[in-house]
Structure 1
Amino acid sequence: MLTGSGHCQVGYVRHLSELRIRELEKLSVRIQGSINTEKYACESYFDYVCSRNRPLFSIMGHMPQMGDLMQLLTELQNDPEPFEAKQKTLDFFISCNVHHALEDCYRETYEYFKPLFGYIVTKNMLNGESHELDDFLGILDRFVVRFQKDRESNPILSKLATYKQKFKTPRVYFHARDLSREYKDLRIYRESYEHNVRNLEQHRKLNSTYELGVQRTMLDWSMYLFQSRNKPMSYFYSTFTVHLYMMLFNSLERQRDFTRFREDVECLRLPQFVNVLDEARMLAVIYLKSFRAAWIDYSAWINSPPQNSGIYDQENGVLQKYHLDNKRIFFTLYAQNFCEFGKDLAEHVFYLGLKQNKDFYDIYSCGFQTENPMTCV
């Protein structure tokens, strides 16, 4: 079971456990704090979701919250298995705390020793059943099956199919002996923080096996899954599913016939400053297709099987108290991926799919526009 997802018995209200209800309430409070309700969503969605500068998640998750970092490091410290990499992690934390505030040291320890956090997360993940792992693998499986016929011609799909199988047992990538081997040549001294940082930077650039390839993916997915515990499916589809489609379309669109691509871009009628940059035009198509495909997948999940619509309605019943629903969560979390790109680029490129989505207009009472560039690509 995922850390924090409960080793005790929990009560159920129809489909939703008490833990999931509490997480919906916490997520609602965080979303309320991240959006600017003084702005009109239909006029500028960027101002509505980004102007407070408090985006909640990137496509594959932000750094865990401070409470989670403290919990994970405590669990690592209390883990009964002694090994060298764990001791180096704790020694670095001690050296940092001599010079910096406690919260800064939790963050730095996570950044430099993220595989050790993967170790404790995956160890706890396999101590029992986890509906988050089931949901995650279900999304991944449906994605791979949907493009089954294209797998041989597309290395991204082939890789995802392989990774899907590997992630059923992610713990094999975080064995204590392998982690100790990873940090074997790294020297960490409790009394020399600056020396430790230099050594860690050098190690990360030259020696880390967790910066690329399957190990990096297993680590990213494990930490994402930890951050996803008890989250609704609207969160999974607006973050992880969008990530999958971006990987796919980033590969496919760059292989397309340029003449057809140019026709699609002209149909979209992107603003002049976007048309100047080839990469901006490419990203516009990739993000538009990714949004549309993820939204179609989420809509399909809501409608089948019947149990899904029941869960969806139950979640909306909880969210209603906060003037939210699952579709608003989907749109908000998707849009907040692009706050860092600035208003002009976000409004005209990354939010193009939102502005042409009927559900978006209905939810925010915008009045649906009849011209629909979604048919261009």
Structure 2
Amino acid sequence: MFLVVKLMCDMFYWSITFGLFFGLLSIAPRGVLGQIAYTRHISNLRIKELMNLADRLDHSIYQEHPPCERYYEYVCNRNQPMFSIMGNLPSERELISLWRELQNDGDGQKFEAKNKMLSFHLSCCIVKSVDDCYRETFDYFRPVFGYIVAHKHMEMHDHQNLIDLLERFISRAKNTEHFGSHLFKFKMEALRERFKDPRVYFKTNDLDEEYKYVRIYNDGYDHNIKALEELRKSNNSTYMRGVPKTILDWTMYMYQSRNKPMSYYMSTLNVHLWMMFYNSSARMDPAKYGRIADCLKLPPVLNVLDEARLMAVIYIKSFQQAWAEYRDWIVSTPVTNEIYDHENEILKRYKLDNKRLFFTLYAQNFCDFGKEIAENVFFLGLKQNQDFYNVYSCGYQTPKGAECF
């Protein structure tokens, strides 16, 4: 039985490999395997991804509900949020592609953590579907996937995009709420420098040490799950905290988000950075944030708990900063302005533009909060934004309340 399952898994891997190879040939006749083709300032790969993003967004939002009156239903009712604030899980195709790269990586032939990953996947194949096993393997061996991304995918323009985004965040934040003397400033500057070469955090010896005490058996799925869960819950995991965790998160975010437009990066990673900053600031000065909450006239559902009031202010402030940063980026150079206009030309076919894309992806971060809380966060933040009203042609606007900040 074991040999049969192994043979089936091996046959599946090879069939996928050939499928990926010919798929890449078909989507990029002048790119990927050679010089990447560009149309104006945007690569053809990015154009393809923008169209894919627009198509997915069309299936994610609920067009029958008018966004101005029922924004929660419009954004969340189909219960298919596309991305979290730190990106999304890789697609099946992406996982298989990374998997094959790990298997064929000559630099890691004696890579014990990789061997344990392969053994775990094999044990999973005996009791579960292959698709489920790819997901579980990624979940438990994320640092190993981080290794292949850091060593094979850091020459992409997306890496430079994220470095530029970090630079812009630090530059903007320096003029915000005493950021210059804030410990968060030094943390972000250090992370920015370390993210320039994340390979430092994904060495085979370090990954072997990470999984050193985890025993994995080819046919012991239940035992393997228990052992990996114990590692996750213990304090021994290097990649569950501190700088290594952040570098792993950013590395996988970069791979999962490649070829996305800047409106995507700004509504996910940039919002996340501002939330990290304001969260640390709020803990240091809760009275100030309490005054802002009072000024905003938060509804009772948010006033019941101090933590809810605090987080509502953090979300709204983070959204405002991320949106302002995106607007600045659009007009920062003639090239960025042309990119923005070209992307909007493409999105127009789907009755979308970059601003709608930004507002929708931002709002989908709050779908899991439930309708009452989410709608209050949406409208406290979005109803103060003139661009939001212009984009959706709402025709009315509540007082901005800018004095609250």
TM-score interval, smaller chain: over 0.9
Q: 2:100 aligns with which of 58, 74, 94?
A: 74
- With normalisation by structure 1, the TM-score equals 0.95
Count of aligned residue pairs for this structure pair: 371
Structure 2 residues without counterparts, runs of 5 or longer:
1-23, 25-30
Does structure 2 retain, via aligned residues, the 8 Å contact 1:362–1:368?
no
- With normalisation by structure 2, the TM-score equals 0.88
Query: Which residue number in structure 2 is paired with residue 295 of structure 1?
Result: 323
Distance 1:273 1:58 in 2: 24
Query: Which residue number in structure 1 is paired with residue 239 of structure 2?
Result: 210
Query: Which residue number in structure 2 is paired with residue 334 of structure 1?
Result: 362
Q: 2:334 aligns with which of 288, 291, 306?
A: 306
2:243 matches 1:243: no
Task: List aligned pairs for 1:256-295, cutoff 5 A.
Answer: 256=285, 258=287, 260-295=288-323
Distance 1:216 1:177 in 2: 17
- 1:92 is displaced (CA, Å) by 0.3
In the superposition, relative to structure 1, how do residues 192 and 321 fare at CA in structure 2: closer, same or farther (>3 Å)?
Answer: same
- Give the secondary structure class of the aligned counterpart of 2:65: coil
Does structure 2 retain, via aligned residues, the 8 Å contact 1:270–1:349?
no
Distance 1:147 1:331 in 2: 22
Does structure 2 retain, via aligned residues, the 8 Å contact 1:60–1:224?
yes
Distance 1:65 1:374 in 2: 41
Distance 1:245 1:238 in 2: 11
Higher relative contact order (CA 8 A, sep 6+): 1
One-letter identity of the residue aligned with 2:39: V
Task: List aligned pairs for 1:6-85, cutoff 5 A.
Answer: 6-80=32-106, 81-82=108-109, 83-85=111-113
Task: List aligned pairs for 1:150-165, cutoff 5 A.
Answer: 150=178, 153-165=181-193
- Give the secondary structure class of the aligned counterpart of 2:127: coil
- 1:151 is displaced (CA, Å) by 5.0
- Give the secondary structure class of the aligned counterpart of 2:239: coil
Does structure 2 retain, via aligned residues, the 8 Å contact 1:121–1:223?
yes
Which deviates the most, 245-254 or 102-111? 245-254
Tell me the alpha carbon deviations over residues 169-191 of structure 1, each in whole angstroms, 9 at most, x when there is no partner: 00111111211121112110001
Structure 1 residues without counterparts, runs of 5 or longer:
none
Which deviates the most, 151-160 or 30-39? 151-160
In the superposition, relative to structure 1, how do residues 257 and 11 fare at CA in structure 2: closer, same or farther (>3 Å)?
Answer: closer
In the superposition, relative to structure 1, how do residues 277 and 151 fare at CA in structure 2: closer, same or farther (>3 Å)?
Answer: closer
Identity of aligned pairs, percent? 51
In the superposition, relative to structure 1, how do residues 156 and 351 fare at CA in structure 2: closer, same or farther (>3 Å)?
Answer: farther
2:249 matches 1:223: no
- 1:140 is displaced (CA, Å) by 0.4
Distance 2:50 2:245 in 1: 29
Distance 1:76 1:160 in 2: 30
Distance 1:311 1:257 in 2: 41
Does structure 1 retain, via aligned residues, the 8 Å contact 2:296–2:380?
no
- 1:232 is displaced (CA, Å) by 0.3
Query: Which residue number in structure 1 is paired with residue 401 of structure 2?
Result: 373
Query: Which residue number in structure 2 is paired with residue 173 of structure 1?
Result: 201
